[in-house]
Structure 1
């Protein structure tokens, strides 16, 4: 059994830890409100960009020499995966979920005979994949997670992807990140950026059976010119939206993890306090017995 001094030291240490986790929870909650607002504000814009490109792609379908961001290179051999995580830890399984999904995707592609390249975003992704798949990493990005995510980070990453695509070094590009639902739920997901894949809402708007329900547009300038202008911008917008989702999910996961840690610390303090009081009472009882036994012996 631990001594009273050891129990006091352990209780004091846990109380100090509880103060830290409680403070981190409050900081994460404050950051979450702003990050969540940014992520939710970006969703309609990103969805509108996808719908617009679906309309343009439908109008330009069948033309020769389409943009590579839309049609790809015509091959499906070299895949670039971009796992997006946080720079810091202490956020539960937030980063591990992205690691796991990315690893599963790598194994599936390699089993199909595909070549896989990695471009980790976030220090946690870089540290993890540097140990497991260092030979697959072609570049890295860090320092973009946090309360304020600059659009320049998405612009730089989009330019890197476009340069790799134009150089013929990749055929397919996919993001792996956590979609933010609420403070307790972040869902790992894959989003293919190149070739551009329209979601169900975007393709439904341009489906032949829906043609009577949607407006028919005349484009000025022509569709090919608009696609050349909008496809790089769409790439940046989709990356930026995923970075905002990651930032909101990170703060939500950290707030939940620190709340659980604070609660666990409180339960540990209560349990140790009971042991401390029981041990103290036992020591007092033993001392009284020794005093009484000594008095009776005299």
Structure 2
């Protein structure tokens, strides 16, 4: 049985840890609110841009979108893995790694390992894939000051790699934010462009492409050439925002569970402390009684 001093030391240690997890939960809740607001504002814009692009590309010749829509034999792949910079978020980062591994096993198992590269957005992905010699690019700074401009640079590198023939496919793997307790790992193909589907619930979701009459200025070709790169950058930015909100939700949930677990452990330690103290008192009483009886017997 542990001594009273050891049990008391553990109680103090667990109490300090519980205070830290409570504070981290409150910080994560505050950050989650801002991150959730950002992704909620972003989704309608991304959906509307996708809707417009869908209506345009459904009546567009292949020559106009061939730069980002060229389907080639897949020999080299770029996977954009979006994780967090810090841990203490439960299985948040591990789920992304599992998602990347499952994607490679399902779609690219026939490719040599050296033909699969990973662009890491977030320090955890950078460290994980850096140890496996799969890393290209360094975007560990994205979440330091999250903005469209910081994500745009990563998107442009991926787009340039595709158009130059360095990669034949570009896929994003990230945690999609559902709610505080639920984050779902998604693997979405960024390049080449897949046939665009209009998200359900958008105004033009059930309308035929020729039912919307757009006025093009300066021309349809130039607008599409501008919209497609912008749409690709927006898709990656939206995925990063989803991951950011998911991270804070996962950390809030993890810290809440850690706080509860610390409370249960404190109860157990206090019970052990009281039992140990009671056993020590009982032993002292028995020793006193035994000593008194020995003195009485010696008289």
Same fold? TM cut 0.5: yes
**Which ranges of structure 2 fall in alignment gaps of 5 or more residues?**
none
Could you tell me which residue of structure 2 aligns to residue 145 of structure 1? 143
How far apart, in 1, do the equivalents of 2:228 and 2:116 lie?
24
Could you tell me which residue of structure 2 aligns to residue 228 of structure 1? 225
Query: 2:51, 2:199 within 8 Å by CA — same for their partners in 1?
Result: yes
Residue 9 of structure 2 is aligned to residue 12 of structure 1: no
Of 94, 97, 111, the match for 1:96: 94
Query: 1:73, 1:168 within 8 Å by CA — same for their partners in 2?
Result: no
Across the aligned residues of Structure 1 and Structure 2, the Cα RMSD in angstroms comes to 2.2
How far apart, in 2, do the equivalents of 1:100 and 1:198 lie?
27
Of 263, 276, 291, the match for 2:288: 291
Could you tell me which residue of structure 2 aligns to residue 181 of structure 1? 178
Could you tell me which residue of structure 2 aligns to residue 270 of structure 1? 267
List per-residue Cα deviations over 1:216-237 (Å, max 9, x = no partner). Answer: 3343333221111111111111
Query: 2:54, 2:198 within 8 Å by CA — same for their partners in 1?
Result: no
1:117 Cα deviation from its structure 2 partner = 1.8
Could you tell me which residue of structure 2 aligns to residue 66 of structure 1? 65
Could you tell me which residue of structure 2 aligns to residue 30 of structure 1? 30
1:111 Cα deviation from its structure 2 partner = 2.0
User: Structure 1's 198 and 149: CA in aligned 2 closer, same or farther, altered over 3 A?
Assistant: farther
Could you tell me which residue of structure 2 aligns to residue 219 of structure 1? 216
Query: 2:58, 2:209 within 8 Å by CA — same for their partners in 1?
Result: no
User: Structure 1's 212 and 128: CA in aligned 2 closer, same or farther, altered over 3 A?
Assistant: closer
1:109 Cα deviation from its structure 2 partner = 3.4
How far apart, in 1, do the equivalents of 2:108 and 2:62 lie?
33
Query: 2:64, 2:221 within 8 Å by CA — same for their partners in 1?
Result: no
Query: 1:205, 1:214 within 8 Å by CA — same for their partners in 2?
Result: no
1:50 Cα deviation from its structure 2 partner = 0.9
How far apart, in 2, do the equivalents of 1:53 and 1:78 lie?
27
Task: Figure out how many residues of one structure are paired with residues of the other and give that number.
Answer: 292
Query: 2:82, 2:174 within 8 Å by CA — same for their partners in 1?
Result: yes
Query: 2:75, 2:168 within 8 Å by CA — same for their partners in 1?
Result: yes
Q: State the 4+ residue runs in structure 1 displaced beyond 6 angstroms.
A: 203-207
**Which ranges of structure 1 fall in alignment gaps of 5 or more residues?**
none
Please, which moves more after superposition, 167-176 or 93-102?
167-176
How far apart, in 1, do the equivalents of 2:169 and 2:209 lie?
34
Residue 166 of structure 2 is aligned to residue 166 of structure 1: no
Could you tell me which residue of structure 1 aligns to residue 78 of structure 2? 80
User: Structure 1's 40 and 75: CA in aligned 2 closer, same or farther, altered over 3 A?
Assistant: same
Query: 1:59, 1:223 within 8 Å by CA — same for their partners in 2?
Result: no
1:106 Cα deviation from its structure 2 partner = 1.9
Normalising by structure 1, report the TM-score: 0.91
Normalising by structure 2, report the TM-score: 0.91
How far apart, in 2, do the equivalents of 1:212 and 1:19 lie?
58
Query: 2:80, 2:173 within 8 Å by CA — same for their partners in 1?
Result: yes
How far apart, in 1, do the equivalents of 2:193 and 2:209 lie?
25
Could you tell me which residue of structure 1 aligns to residue 41 of structure 2? 41
Query: 1:67, 1:227 within 8 Å by CA — same for their partners in 2?
Result: no
List per-residue Cα deviations over 1:259-282 (Å, max 9, x = no partner). Answer: 111110111011010010011011
User: Structure 1's 221 and 158: CA in aligned 2 closer, same or farther, altered over 3 A?
Assistant: same
How far apart, in 2, do the equivalents of 1:6 and 1:162 lie?
59
How far apart, in 2, do the equivalents of 1:106 and 1:112 lie?
9
How far apart, in 2, do the equivalents of 1:275 and 1:77 lie?
62
